[in-house]
Structure 1
Amino acid sequence: MCEGLQRDYQICEEIGRGRFGTVYRCFSQESGEFFACKSIDKRLLADSIDRECLEKETKIMLLVSGNPNVVQLFNVYEDDAYLHMVMELCGSSDLYERVSKRTFSEAEAAAVMSPLMDAIAYCHRRGVAHRDIKPDNVLFDDRNILKLADFGSADYFHEGRSMRGIVGTPYYVAPEVLSGRDYNEKVDVWSAGVIMYIMLAGIPPFYGESATEIFEAVLRANLRFPTRIFHSVSPAAKDLLRRMLCKDVSRRFSAEQVLRHPWITSGGGTRLLSDLA
């Protein structure tokens, strides 16, 4: 364990594990607070691309840590074998755990979508696309404040520079990512739209029995609102979903436009479609 990390923090129990590292709960000797420490074994990084992604994740987290709905990165320690990232501890359940138990009312869904889209818009204003928005990466702290986490797939974009590469998770990935074309930050809006649909319906909008079938359904992007499931969902909610899960990227809403939509601004209150003009 890195000497500086051991000096500043007491490492406690393991609370998570990933492909390259382990997450521990840790205790600050100075502040008396608990944090999360993500320890990455650099010896497990297969090539220079993995190392580049690791360096990029650290820089991106420092860039976007100013938003209250993004997991904050406080300290970074490194030695020959490990990189340790000391981050905000989110001790409550994640969104995946919550959506797996039940569907959400529109007010409950809007209470998630508003801070989530605020975090996404904040990242986009700083030229960062998350590229793996999914319920597992939407955490809640002990005060039930939403925190967007895991920037391991994130990338930079700016005017005139698009992104490439198939990253993301089957149900949530945008069709333009799967097509192999260049894409922009609106892939995050698509993924957030999938989350909103699942919260309201209890099922994903594009479904398949295998990853291949899911990808085919995403590429078709045939958005439907089954009456038996959506009979009590407001026209405003369905309107926003159509604008977020729009295959035509030029017509898909930006994160800022989502935040201005009446369904968001009214806290999921029912609004007539005529109010959306």
Structure 2
Amino acid sequence: MSAALKRDYQICDCEEIGRGRFGTVFKCVSRSTGDSFAVKSIDKSLTAGASLDAQCLLTEPKALALVSPHPHLVQLRATYEDDSHLHIVTDLCPNSDLHALILANGGAFPERDARSIFAQLMTAVSHCHRKGVIHRDVKPDNVLFDSWNSVRLADFGSAAVVAGAEAAAGVVGTPYYVAPEVLSGWEYGEKVDVWSCGVVLYIMLAGFPPFYGETAVEIFDAVLRANLRFPTRVFGSVSPAAKDLLRRMLCKDVYRRFSAEQVLSGIHG
């Protein structure tokens, strides 16, 4: 492990926070202030031969640096590198993530509660897009809550940094949340995040995803069909405005799909 990292932070190896394809997240404590943070240690050898993954490895700290600071994003604090690992120190969010909250809730949220969480999420996503960053893996697992129960969007390991009218490419993301244009094999833009956020909102309101399948292939087929439905037994108490917003976010036609700014206007309008 990086000598500089160990000099600046005490790594709490017994407090694993999370684990991904390329690394593990542990709690760490600043030796100078005593404040707690999270450190993501990414094994560089695991990306060998995978060009897109290797690119993501280098992009994560760059994306975090571009979007930090922001009250609804996990902030980059420091980066360290040694021969085998890249270490990224970020804010620690000690409370649960949205995925765990949905499970604990046993299903759908009241619309008022879902709106509060969703507005904070969209504020974060809109900020990312203004900075030229596409998250590409917005899902409940990556929506964290800090010490004040404020939303913090995390994990920029799949992010793309684009400039101006540039587009991103590559199949990146999580099956239930990935946008149709990502699966098509063509280039795509920031509105893939809007689609993913729409899926998150739908799940918060319904307790299940809008496009379902038993396997990844079945899920992808359902996403490509984009047949959006609002079962009355679940959505009977959901406002017409919320359902209309979902239609505009989970719209297969990218040109008609709302931007993050338009979604924010819809929430506050």
TM-score normalised by length of structure 2 = 0.95
Q: d(CA) in 2 for partners of 1:253 and 1:2? A: 44
Does 2:171 correspond to 1:166?
yes
Describe how 1:13-28 pairs up with structure 2 within 5 A.
13=14, 14-28=16-30
CA apart distance, 1:222: 0.8
5+ residue gaps in structure 1? 267-277
Q: What RMSD, in angstroms, separates the aligned Cα atoms of the two structures?
A: 1.3
Superposed CA offset, 1:145-188 (max 9, x none): 11101111110223332121111111111111111122110000
Superposed CA offset, 1:54-78 (max 9, x none): 1111111111112111101101111
Choose 44-53 or 216-225, whichever is displaced more: 44-53
Secondary structure of the 1:171 match is helix
Does 2:91 correspond to 1:88?
yes
Q: d(CA) in 2 for partners of 1:45 and 1:227? A: 46
Alpha carbons 1:157, 1:185 under 8 Å: kept:
no
Aligned length: 264
Letter in 2 for 1:252: R
Letter in 1 for 2:173: G
CA apart distance, 1:47: 2.7
Identity %, equivalent residues: 63
Describe how 1:76-225 pairs up with structure 2 within 5 A.
76-100=79-103, 101-225=106-230
CA apart distance, 1:81: 1.7
Alpha carbons 2:28, 2:39 under 8 Å: kept:
yes
CA apart distance, 1:48: 6.4
Alpha carbons 1:24, 1:38 under 8 Å: kept:
yes
User: Which residue is equivalent to 2:33?
Assistant: 31
Q: d(CA) in 2 for partners of 1:52 and 1:181? A: 18
User: Which residue is equivalent to 2:62?
Assistant: 59
Choose 151-160 or 177-186, whichever is displaced more: 151-160
Q: d(CA) in 2 for partners of 1:206 and 1:59? A: 32
Letter in 2 for 1:9: Y
TM-score normalised by length of structure 1 = 0.92
User: Which residue is equivalent to 1:265?
Assistant: 268
Q: d(CA) in 1 for partners of 2:162 and 2:26? A: 32
Question: Where in structure 1 do 4 or more consecutive aligned residues deviate above 3 Å?
Answer: none
CA apart distance, 1:51: 3.2
Q: d(CA) in 1 for partners of 2:45 and 2:177? A: 31
Secondary structure of the 1:139 match is strand
CA apart distance, 1:210: 1.2
Does 2:231 correspond to 1:229?
no
CA apart distance, 1:43: 2.5
User: Which residue is equivalent to 2:5?
Assistant: 5
Alpha carbons 2:59, 2:161 under 8 Å: kept:
no
Alpha carbons 1:165, 1:177 under 8 Å: kept:
yes
Label 1:38 to 1:174 Cα distance change in 2 as closer, same or farther (>3 A). Answer: same
